[in-house]
Chains A and B, each alone.
Chain A
Amino acid sequence: MPQLEIGGTTYEVDEDGFLQELDKWGRGFAQGYAAVEGIEGELTEDHWKLIDYIRDYYAQFGIAPMIRKMCKDTGFDLKRIYALFPSGPAKGACKLAGLSKPTGCV
């Protein structure tokens, strides 16, 4: 299993950098990972709004929210999400939110 070191903590991740130990997630993980994902500087309020939304949905339903629902509920369109997270909603935002890689035919 590959490992990733962020701010002195070692995390188990999959081959594509998705966190494997979901309970180890903390805000430091997201902030530390931001640079790897091409986001410069501190995460903004909008970044956190999306990350928190994804984590809340995951806590309630056990999966990542549909992208369309994510856009509707946060008020961000897809363009805005890509501006915030250059790798996109699944490979960027969900990864920073500490979710596993999406599975099934999605």
Chain B
Amino acid sequence: MKKNIHIDDFTRPGGQVTELDPAELDPLPPPYDKIDKPSIRKLTEEQRKRMDASLDGIVAIGLTPPKTPEEEKAFIDKFLAGIKKLFSADDNWTFLQPLVHTLEYCVKCQICSDACPVYISSGRQDIYRPTMRPELFRRIVSKYIKKEHPFLRKIKDSDIDLNWQTLARLGELAYRCTLCRRCAQVCPLGCDNALISREIRKVFSQQMGIAPKELHEKGSVQQLRVGSSTGMTPAALKNILEFAEEEIEEKTGRKIKIPVDKKGADILLIHNAGEFLAWPENLEAFAIILDAAGVDWTLSTEIAGYDSVNYGVWYDDFQFARVVIRQSQAAKSLGVRKISFGECGHAHKAGIVVADRVLTGDLIIPRESSLPMLEEIVMSGRIKLDPGRNNFPVTLHDPCNMVRLMGIVEPQRRILRKICPQFREMTPHGVENYCCGGGSGFAITQSTNFPDWRSAVSGRMKMKQILEAFQDVPGAEVKKYVCAPCSNCKGQFRDMFEYYGVWEKSGILYGGLVELIVNAMADLKKPFIQWEWH
């Protein structure tokens, strides 16, 4: 255990900067204080030869070491060329201003450290401080980009020895931050240290072609090639929609035709395609509600038009722009009035907020969250709802991108207060929420021991919050529901709940918001929520 980390620890070849000790992680309430398995798997010797794990023993990207000094030099030069571009308005006009602001104004007061769930949950490991990555980054800029005088660097304590190992560790470290931006929220000077994580990821991807496979090769590249990061083709989508229509009829007795490629519809609804495969009840519930409320809507079968994900928002500006443009083109070709995003947080950020920096001319189509639309439907009385049907404990998870970033705080709450008599808030909640631990692509990063890390460390604070929200009914005999209106958060909860055995120990199910609305529909013969699919 090594807690006081110095910059030299990152630049020293060989060894590991920090070894996580499960006993030192922030404690969870019983029975989760004792866990009967090693909390984080160790890499095998063979894996260690192929993949660098010299930061903390965890692998998100797992770089292969260079074989010759020439290779090492080429690697470093390439990285520095990428860093240089970050400071050019031509290359980085999107993020130059907040980047410079953060680098110049941070006084390392550490208020952000106390706000960071990864840092606190890890047992306050220095390497995870939100200021650690920016400090490494700042030193690299000082020495290699600004080329400050050695004497100046000495009095500013801003020196660094750049070698392959330093960069391998920095690249991994950029994937220990969930980009939840709680740090940015509390910073008295308006610095955004999470942005630095993303800018580092961006240099690795755009300049060096290095990114987690799940995000790039199997993610945005696959989405642009076949239509969805899940690999789902339009033909597969149609097969799945037929299945969903059958299920709707079985569950509700209603025959609903899910509208597809309907020209001139009022709304193009874009779901995260993960819903189609892993949580079809979510898209079914949307279809039931919109049908009952008489909304004129459609899905699209165009590339990216049926998958709202935009992983570029986590690591690559080019991939981001490509996907945003395809989604807007899908809407344009259908002639819809607006795009509505389903229950997916990062798609909200990408498609509604950041897209403003990319879209021009007739690709600027109104884009909004589906949550206010759902609120309007629920509050209008157009659907008859019986809260008695949701008479079980419910708490609400706030997806960072919808809530902290976009300020969509109340619509989902007004719905839950109306239809869930046992609704209770987590502490803290709303814009001060904690990330699920799966943000910025972590929930889909399924390789080697990274899933262990995100259940044990980055999701730990949320795990604690959920258990505390239900502390009056802790036992598995009382079935409870965490409402998480975001596919990514649901993926994290699924994996984390399995990791800790949450269903068996505490009887907690996770799911979306629309499922609770349909479950409350007064004229349905049977409950919509099926607890057996925990």
For A14, what are the chain B residues with a Cβ–Cβ distance below 8 Å?
447
Given A72-B243, A104-B218, A105-B272, 17 other A-B contacts at CB below 8 A? A2-B50, A15-B47, A16-B448, A61-B232, A61-B236, A62-B236, A66-B243, A66-B277, A68-B243, A69-B240, A78-B532, A104-B231, A105-B278, A105-B309, A105-B344, A105-B488, A106-B278
Contact A68 B247, beta carbon cutoff 8 Å: yes
| A61-B278 contact, Cβ under 8 Å, with A104-B273, A105-B444 | no
For A15, what are the chain B residues with a Cβ–Cβ distance below 8 Å?
47, 447-448
The 10 closest A-B pairs by CB, nearest first: A105-B274, A104-B230, A104-B229, A103-B218, A61-B236, A106-B278, A105-B487, A106-B274, A63-B231, A15-B448
Q: Say whether A26 faces chain B, with CB atoms less than 8 Å apart.
A: no
- In the docked arrangement, what's the CA distance between A14 and B447, Å? 9
| A61-B239 contact, Cβ under 8 Å, with A68-B247, A103-B222 | yes
Give 10 A-B contacts (CB < 8 Å), ordered by A residue: A61-B233, A62-B233, A62-B236, A63-B230, A66-B276, A78-B532, A102-B230, A102-B277, A105-B274, A105-B487
For A63, what are the chain B residues with a Cβ–Cβ distance below 8 Å?
230-233, 236, 277
Task: Report which residue of B222, B273, B277 has the largest number of chain A beta carbons within 10 angstroms of its beta carbon.
Answer: B277
- In the docked arrangement, what's the CA distance between A66 and B241, Å? 11
- In the docked arrangement, what's the CA distance between A62 and B225, Å? 13
Q: How many Å from the CB of B350 to the closest CB on chain A?
A: 13
For B307, what are the chain A residues with a Cβ–Cβ distance below 8 Å?
104
- In the docked arrangement, what's the CA distance between A67 and B277, Å? 8
B21-50 to A contact mask, C-beta < 8 Å, 1/0: 000000000000000000000000011001
Q: How many Å from the CB of A53 to the closest CB on chain B?
A: 14
Q: Say whether A47 faces chain B, with CB atoms less than 8 Å apart.
A: no
Q: How many Å from the CB of B224 to the closest CB on chain A?
A: 13
Q: Say whether A101 faces chain B, with CB atoms less than 8 Å apart.
A: yes
| A62-B243 contact, Cβ under 8 Å, with A105-B274, A106-B278 | no
Q: Say whether B443 faces chain A, with CB atoms less than 8 Å apart.
A: yes
Q: How many Å from the CB of B436 to the closest CB on chain A?
A: 13
Number of interface residues of B (CB under 8 A): 41
Q: How many Å from the CB of B222 to the closest CB on chain A?
A: 6
B453-476 to A contact mask, C-beta < 8 Å, 1/0: 000000000000000000000000
Determine chain B's interface SS by DSSP, over half rule.
Answer: helix
| A78-B46 contact, Cβ under 8 Å, with A16-B446, A61-B236, A63-B230 | no
Number of interface residues of A (CB under 8 A): 20
For A69, what are the chain B residues with a Cβ–Cβ distance below 8 Å?
240, 243
Q: Say whether B122 faces chain A, with CB atoms less than 8 Å apart.
A: no
Interface residues of A in 51-106 (CB under 8 A from B): 61-64, 66-69, 72, 78, 101-106
Q: How many Å from the CB of B231 to the closest CB on chain A?
A: 5
Contact B229 A103, beta carbon cutoff 8 Å: yes
Q: How many Å from the CB of B84 to the closest CB on chain A?
A: 33
The residue on A at minimum CB distance from B47 is A15
Contact A2 B230, beta carbon cutoff 8 Å: no
The residue on B at minimum CB distance from A72 is B243
The residue on A at minimum CB distance from B228 is A104
B173-217 to A contact mask, C-beta < 8 Å, 1/0: 000000000000000000000000000000000000000001000
Residue of A61, A68, A102, A104 touching B219 (CB-CB under 8 A): A104
The residue on A at minimum CB distance from B487 is A105
Q: How many Å from the CB of B204 to the closest CB on chain A?
A: 19
Q: Say whether B290 faces chain A, with CB atoms less than 8 Å apart.
A: no
Q: How many Å from the CB of B489 to the closest CB on chain A?
A: 10
Q: Say whether B235 faces chain A, with CB atoms less than 8 Å apart.
A: yes
For B50, what are the chain A residues with a Cβ–Cβ distance below 8 Å?
2
For A67, what are the chain B residues with a Cβ–Cβ distance below 8 Å?
278
For B309, what are the chain A residues with a Cβ–Cβ distance below 8 Å?
104-105
For A16, what are the chain B residues with a Cβ–Cβ distance below 8 Å?
446-448
Q: Say whether B491 faces chain A, with CB atoms less than 8 Å apart.
A: yes
- In the docked arrangement, what's the CA distance between A78 and B533, Å? 8
Q: Say whether B123 faces chain A, with CB atoms less than 8 Å apart.
A: no
- In the docked arrangement, what's the CA distance between A106 and B50, Å? 27
- In the docked arrangement, what's the CA distance between A62 and B474, Å? 42
Q: Say whether B106 faces chain A, with CB atoms less than 8 Å apart.
A: no
- In the docked arrangement, what's the CA distance between A74 and B292, Å? 32
For B233, what are the chain A residues with a Cβ–Cβ distance below 8 Å?
61-63
For A64, what are the chain B residues with a Cβ–Cβ distance below 8 Å?
277
| A104-B274 contact, Cβ under 8 Å, with A61-B239, A63-B232, A69-B243 | yes
B233-254 to A contact mask, C-beta < 8 Å, 1/0: 1011001100100010000000
For B231, what are the chain A residues with a Cβ–Cβ distance below 8 Å?
62-63, 103-104
Contact B278 A103, beta carbon cutoff 8 Å: no
Q: Say whether B280 faces chain A, with CB atoms less than 8 Å apart.
A: yes
- In the docked arrangement, what's the CA distance between A13 and B244, Å? 33
For B232, what are the chain A residues with a Cβ–Cβ distance below 8 Å?
61-63, 104
For B236, what are the chain A residues with a Cβ–Cβ distance below 8 Å?
61-63
- In the docked arrangement, what's the CA distance between A103 and B47, Å? 22
- In the docked arrangement, what's the CA distance between A53 and B243, Å? 16
Contact B219 A66, beta carbon cutoff 8 Å: no
The residue on A at minimum CB distance from B239 is A61
Contact A106 B448, beta carbon cutoff 8 Å: no
Q: How many Å from the CB of A14 to the closest CB on chain B?
A: 7
Task: Report which residue of B231, B276, B309 has the largest number of chain A beta carbons within 10 angstroms of its beta carbon.
Answer: B231
Q: How many Å from the CB of A17 to the closest CB on chain B?
A: 11
Contact B219 A103, beta carbon cutoff 8 Å: yes
- In the docked arrangement, what's the CA distance between A69 and B214, Å? 25
Q: Say whether B409 faces chain A, with CB atoms less than 8 Å apart.
A: no
Q: How many Å from the CB of A74 to the closest CB on chain B?
A: 14
Contact B273 A101, beta carbon cutoff 8 Å: no
- In the docked arrangement, what's the CA distance between A98 and B105, Å? 53
Interface residues of B in 299-323 (CB under 8 A from A): 307, 309
